Structure 1
């Protein structure tokens, strides 16, 4: 079955590339010939046209489509496109309710989702089966990364756990030990489930690999409290995160406002510097602006005198959240030069994210990459749960699924479950007697039980096979 993607921008192309790696049939629609030309290398059906054109949808193969993703740069077009696509699909296949077509709409502005001030819930009227607005995930990922800047990549796994990716540095106490025995060196350290050596795309670990300098290791941490153990284990060190950290955020954008709200909810003092007076006033007049621990300053984030008056060198965290990628890079680098120990920035251009990662002085998060991952999660909702790519280890992905009585591995050991699925079980969530969810280390349980949610690492090439096993 085919997946149609309307919008051949960086998000649309990112989703298309991931689906082609899964060997799915993909069609891309975009009215911009330049965007279509930039998509030539993806081996997709390319259609120059509009998401709101019946002719374009027919040329893209709407009658054979299983999923359509509306990923244009216009929220209203994406919502309207869901209803239109279902109408055209129903005309072609005679399915009046269009139950055979799943529609996914990408939304940039989270205000649209608000029930009272926006148009939510959007699914109730737009005919969109899934709404993807990744702003909360973007903020969560950046805030987590700033807790441990020496860890190369920190990604969410479930509600409270994390994937931590770190390079083994010279002098690491792990060098020479086996991946399955790191707990004998650091008691309580998270387990290693995947690694990558130079020249490879990565692989799952068996526990027998010898850890060497320069390897990229993938840990699964059940708490942010375990981040310091990981940094020490790979031969790095971060200063302890202060309980009364001072936070500077450059930009009162939707992301800057959400970051401010996040740190205020942690009990920290926050200052937001915004060059646009209207945007600064909007933040002051919002619910976030009511906090006594928030200061909003209208000014140029690159003004040296303003930064000196602010005392930026005494801040613990500085984040650049403006809409200009180049300005965000300049601001975060300047804050780092002035002695701010934890600096981060949000970027749209994924190529710039990779460049900043290589420099290694500040924590970048790609807004578009997080959005791509959120869309892929919706596409893979035939197995409801998480879906997470691991950018430094492109050959490995993570998914989760709930165990039912029909699964062949229900009641089996973790080792047997891994053998049956061809994947590593990296975490288990289980309800206790009170109905609360407990996060369990797979090494500590005797068997996988019905009702458990298991989190898996698997080779990207095995995704279809593992999903099929979880569907049964």
Structure 2
């Protein structure tokens, strides 16, 4: 059996609860601490120990068995509180265990996120790892806006998002003639290496089916939502085209419209990114001081930058700015509802692609039914970044809901303990194409795992990370990171079966 980590999470808000839910589904031993009774009540359906109390209280940390913890994660929205919790936990732990406790702190202020990026946060705060997602949120929005036709794009690994392996949902259109009315096996025979790795489908009634790479039981139909794994952004754009969507790359100089201002500064980062890529940016902000600051910050790009002070809701002003001549429109205010309204306004006035960053996860599913190109849930990106760090630094298996309510991923690292029976096994072994006669325990477990999950890709570390989506002729190695797609209710069973596979003996 794989080593079971004990993880203490301080903060039972959305981020803390989702991290706890993910880790508990992957069979970790999780403790959740919060002094808000309502937050603890909302965590009652998570398989963890929930403690009502302050993580800044030594007695509460002792009640959580801090001495047995492998890592502590502080997830509150208050940066100072998170850093203080990590500092106290390290002090208490070192007095008991005479060792150093790894700690992770969520940070939200741009200056602290810069410290975390430079890995200098630990030098003065003692926090092992600061998780700030300012740049990641911006990168994910830019990626989503470059892939119209895809939704629920979830990158994996630590590569830049356009190079990272992805799982995404793409609607199959009538124009996707190479896929429509074909089985997965039939389409693969036709498209060969161009065939996207289709892991599951959601039909028009909302029913989900997990698929194998050579499935012959389902004929693909228009309006099927295909859940696809690709090695990078270019692979996703190719898959979108195969599914019948029109895919156009941004020209050398497109016009990008940014509306509004927030303390997080997402608009400024987006403007800089598009300007550095050679595009023209129009930035409309309601605050005169902000407009003046922008002019000073972006002086090197003034040739292709227009900064204007005015009301982003003013239709007459937008028409004067030739809003319909802009390819992309992005809303960057503090208010989620305002962002959605501005996106709809820009779309109605002729902007072809619109996007926004939302902070309230409850709005995301509703907003995705609107005619907007792409939306990013900032808090979900925080959750995924924490889980990614746990996988990379602690080889922790994680089970994540991602941005979809109906599908989830289980990610596990192949370790080198002596009885790990997956080492040097052909990858195809995990994707059986027939039922063996007199199967042994290993084969029975693989068959059951294959019934409830689909192997998306394998991330392999070497001189550089290599993402494997074509499994023929490949063997599993120590250090490989395997990602499976499954239904949320099956995640605990997927974790259990993978645990069995890593210890099952090979028998004839």
TM-score range, shorter chain: 0.7 to 0.9
Change (3 A) 1:28 1:385: closer
Q: Supply the RMSD in Å over aligned alpha carbons.
A: 3.5
Q: Aligned runs of 1:285-296 on 2, under 5 Å?
A: 285-286=296-297, 288-292=298-302, 293-296=304-307
Contact 2:200/2:208 (CA < 8 Å) preserved in 1? no
Q: Could you list the runs of 5+ residues in structure 2 that have no partner in the other structure? A: 433-441
Moved more, 174-183 or 199-208: 199-208
Moved more, 394-403 or 249-258: 394-403
Contact 1:82/1:103 (CA < 8 Å) preserved in 2? yes
Name the structure 2 match of 1:230: 239
After superposition, what is the alpha-carbon deviation per residue over 1:238-257, rounded to whole angstroms, capped at 9, x for unaligned? 55543321111123442212
In 2, Cα distance between equivalents of 1:403 and 1:64: 22
Change (3 A) 1:58 1:410: closer
Aligned pair 1:142/2:141, yes or no?
yes
Moved more, 288-297 or 148-157: 288-297
Q: Aligned runs of 1:356-395 on 2, under 5 Å?
A: 356-380=367-391, 381-383=393-395, 389-392=401-404, 394-395=406-407
Aligned pair 1:325/2:336, yes or no?
yes
Contact 2:175/2:245 (CA < 8 Å) preserved in 1? no
In 1, Cα distance between equivalents of 2:415 and 2:70: 26
Contact 1:31/1:49 (CA < 8 Å) preserved in 2? yes
Shift of 1:221: 2.5
- Aligned-partner SS, 2:8: strand
In 2, Cα distance between equivalents of 1:455 and 1:35: 33
Name the structure 1 match of 2:475: 448
Name the structure 1 match of 2:429: 416
Shift of 1:393: 6.6
Which TM-score applies when normalising by structure 2?
0.79
Name the structure 2 match of 1:102: 102
In 2, Cα distance between equivalents of 1:273 and 1:66: 47
Aligned pair 1:87/2:91, yes or no?
yes
Shift of 1:84: 0.5
Change (3 A) 1:437 1:340: same
Change (3 A) 1:453 1:29: closer
Aligned pair 1:12/2:19, yes or no?
no
Which TM-score applies when normalising by structure 1?
0.84
> Higher relative contact order at CA 8 Å, sep ≥6: structure 1 or structure 2?
2
In 1, Cα distance between equivalents of 2:53 and 2:476: 50
Aligned pair 1:193/2:199, yes or no?
yes
Name the structure 1 match of 2:436: none
In 1, Cα distance between equivalents of 2:229 and 2:459: 11
Aligned pair 1:210/2:218, yes or no?
yes
Aligned pair 1:342/2:350, yes or no?
no
Contact 1:175/1:210 (CA < 8 Å) preserved in 2? no
Contact 1:189/1:229 (CA < 8 Å) preserved in 2? no
Change (3 A) 1:60 1:427: closer
Q: Could you list the runs of 5+ residues in structure 1 that have no partner in the other structure? A: none
Shift of 1:430: 7.1
Name the structure 2 match of 1:463: 495
Q: How many pairs were matched up?
A: 462
Aligned pair 1:278/2:294, yes or no?
no
Contact 1:30/1:51 (CA < 8 Å) preserved in 2? yes
In 1, Cα distance between equivalents of 2:496 and 2:102: 18
Shift of 1:467: 7.2
In 2, Cα distance between equivalents of 1:456 and 1:418: 13
